[in-house]
């Protein structure tokens, strides 16, 4: 049975868009693994996020401030600067995530823009992370579970943003569904009415597969066990 997982990135303050996203996922009983930007998340926001979470939702560590230190075409928060500076940011992010989310923090590192090097991987591991989640087809090393996003709803081409249609997302899913797990990646901040309609079609289809015993809905917490 395939484990279906949703990772939602760039979580910081609780916005109307966040609430709409969370309600949609809750309607289909899809747990969410939220990648939180620790440097931009206040204690009161973390409190709110924790109070809104469903039983299986978890919070993982995204980039410290989600600042682009790369170029416009090759964005990167990690993998571009002195390894010591990046290591300090990963340590600070880990400590703040523990402080803000306590037991609801799952120690997995998600590098912004899927950009990282071997130094980033080892810094996350040394900080205490048990998993690392970028996107599929990128390098991995030993010591942590690799949890790559397989299906990316957001597409950036020539500086323009678009969202996968439900048809394309499901075609990608059906191609991958022999795998033990398939990770979908969303950014709730990019989800308005069209995106919501397409996402809901995907969730409805996945729910039908779940009812037929073909898939199960999980979070990163289940994959790390
Ligand atoms: Zn991000």
* Least confident among 24-28, 99-103, 109-113, 156-160: 156-160
Fold of 2-224: TIM Barrel (3.20.20)
| CA 177 to ligand 1 centroid distance, Å | 25
Indicate the domain borders of the chain.
2-224
**Range 212-217 contact pairs with CB under 8 angstroms and sequence separation of 24 or more:** 213/1, 214/1, 214/2, 214/177, 215/1, 215/2, 215/3, 215/4, 215/177, 216/1, 216/2, 216/3, 216/4, 217/3, 217/4, 217/5, 217/29, 217/30, 217/31, 217/56
113 alpha carbon – ligand 1 mean position (Å) = 6
pLDDT at residue number 156: 79
Answer yes or no: is pLDDT of 159 > 80: no
149 DSSP β-pair partners: 135
Q: What is the Å distance from ligand 1's center to 67 Cα?
A: 9
CB atoms within 10 A of CB 167: 11
- Which pTM value belongs to this model? 0.97
How close is the Cα of 36 to the center of ligand 1, in Å? 9
From 122, 171, 172, select the one nearest 150 (Cα to Cα): 172
| 52-97 confidence digits (pLDDT tens) | 999 999 999 999 999 999 998 889 999 999 999 999 999 999 999 9
At 114 the pLDDT is 96
Which three-class secondary structure state does DSSP give residue 104? helix
Average pLDDT, the chain: 96
Find the mean pLDDT for residues 130-159: 94
CA of 9 to the centre of ligand 1 (A): 5
């Amino acid at each position: 049975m395939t484990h279906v997982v949703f990772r939602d990135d760039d979580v910081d303050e609780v916005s109307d868009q966040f609430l709409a996203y969370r309600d949609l996922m809750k309607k289909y009983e899809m747990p969410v693994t939220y990648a939180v930007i620790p440097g931009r998340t206040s204690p009161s926001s973390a409190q709110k996020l924790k109070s809104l979470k469903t039983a299986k939702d978890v919070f993982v560590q995204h980039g410290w401030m989600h600042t682009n230190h790369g170029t416009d075409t090759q964005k990167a928060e990690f993998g571009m600067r002195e390894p010591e500076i990046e290591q300090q940011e990963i340590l600070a992010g880990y400590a703040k995530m523990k402080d803000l989310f306590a037991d609801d923090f799952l120690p997995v590192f998600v590098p912004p823009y899927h950009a990282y090097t071997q130094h980033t991987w080892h810094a996350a591991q040394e900080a205490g992370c048990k998993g690392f989640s970028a996107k599929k087809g990128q390098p991995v090393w030993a010591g942590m579970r690799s949890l790559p996003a397989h299906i990316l709803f957001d597409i950036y081409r020539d500086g323009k943003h678009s969202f996968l249609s439900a048809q394309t997302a499901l075609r990608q899913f059906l191609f991958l569904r022999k795998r033990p797990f398939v990770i979908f990646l969303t950014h709730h901040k990019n989800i308005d009415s069209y995106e919501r309609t397409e996402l809901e079609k995907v969730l409805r289809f996945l729910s039908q597969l779940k009812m037929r015993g073909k898939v199960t809905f999980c979070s990163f917490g289940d994959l790390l066990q």
